[in-house]
Structure 1
Amino acid sequence: MISFGSDVRVFVATQPVDFRKGVHGLVGLIAEGLQGAPYSGDVFVFRSKRADRLKLLFFDGTGMILATKWLEGGKFSWPPIREGKMMLSATQLAMLPDGLSEWLKVAPRPTKKLITTA
């Protein structure tokens, strides 16, 4: 299991990608197609056309890490295909690779931001 802190930013490419793409192809897709910053430490999630595979790509400060998961049976639950990307919470990211469909229903609780004046 790969875990991230609660402050990690996670982006899902909502369009399926060609799963023959490796690290360099996905970095290019992040930079050009998703207008993201591949070396920022953000996590980028990619889906396959058959919805039974996913790839995670992130920079850990020393190099790029590419993780792939195939489900032996069934499919991952994905939102409808549309242009662009969507953002996930760390909790949603933890649920997604396990094949849990509930990740689509989990939403972070709203928090009040304290405003301090000096």
Structure 2
Amino acid sequence: MFFPEGNIQVHLYGQPVDMRKSFDGLYATVRHAMQLNPLSGALFVFINRRANQMKVLYWDRTGFCIWAKRLERGRFISNWNEITSREIDWTALKLLLEGIEPKRQKLRFQLPKV
């Protein structure tokens, strides 16, 4: 399924997840640990403890889908202490899928207050 980039919500789970979990286990994690609605159409991203595997759960109006990716070299994230459960944007997810960890960037200048 293809998503319009501006309209999709992506939620990253901030704890390591056992990659043996499938549809029901990931659904339960979204519902109980993240306190979110798995049927909302948002993407829910889960990463294992070694940070070399990722699963993405989403509902596409007919059933649940799971994307899975394993990096042969490298890690999706460098330090679990810096990761929290949060909403990320579509671009950050694409970078994460490529093994590039997005960092928060500071503006080089301050915008004028109106």
* Fold-level similarity (TM above 0.5): yes
Q: Does 1:22 align with 2:22?
A: yes
Moved more, 74-83 or 58-67: 74-83
The answer as to whether partners of 1:3 and 1:94 remain within 8 angstroms in 2 is: no
Separation of aligned partners in 2, 1:88 and 1:41: 15
Q: What are the equivalent positions in structure 2 for 1:17-56 lying under 5 Å apart? A: 17-56=17-56
> 1:5 deviation in Å?
2.3
Decide whether aligned partners of structure 1 residues 37 and 86 sit closer, same or farther in structure 2, where only a CA change above 3 A counts: same
CA deviation string 1:42-79 (max 9, x = no partner): 10000100111111000111111101100011111256
Q: Which residue of 1 aligns with 2:91?
A: 91
Show structure 2 runs of 5+ residues with no match: 107-114
Moved over 6 A (4+): none
Separation of aligned partners in 2, 1:64 and 1:27: 9
**One-letter code aligned to 2:61:** G
CA deviation string 1:68-92 (max 9, x = no partner): 1000111112564479611101111
Pairwise CA RMSD of aligned residues?
2.4
**One-letter code aligned to 1:36:** L
Separation of aligned partners in 2, 1:71 and 1:78: 13
> 1:94 deviation in Å?
1.3
Separation of aligned partners in 2, 1:43 and 1:78: 22
Decide whether aligned partners of structure 1 residues 5 and 35 sit closer, same or farther in structure 2, where only a CA change above 3 A counts: same
**One-letter code aligned to 1:67:** W
The answer as to whether partners of 1:15 and 1:82 remain within 8 angstroms in 2 is: no
Q: What secondary structure sits across from 1:68 in the alignment?
A: strand
Q: What are the equivalent positions in structure 2 for 1:105-116 lying under 5 Å apart? A: 105=104
> 1:99 deviation in Å?
0.5
How many aligned residue pairs are there? 106
Separation of aligned partners in 2, 1:3 and 1:99: 20
Q: What secondary structure sits across from 1:104 in the alignment?
A: coil
Decide whether aligned partners of structure 1 residues 76 and 32 sit closer, same or farther in structure 2, where only a CA change above 3 A counts: same
Identity of aligned residues (%): 30
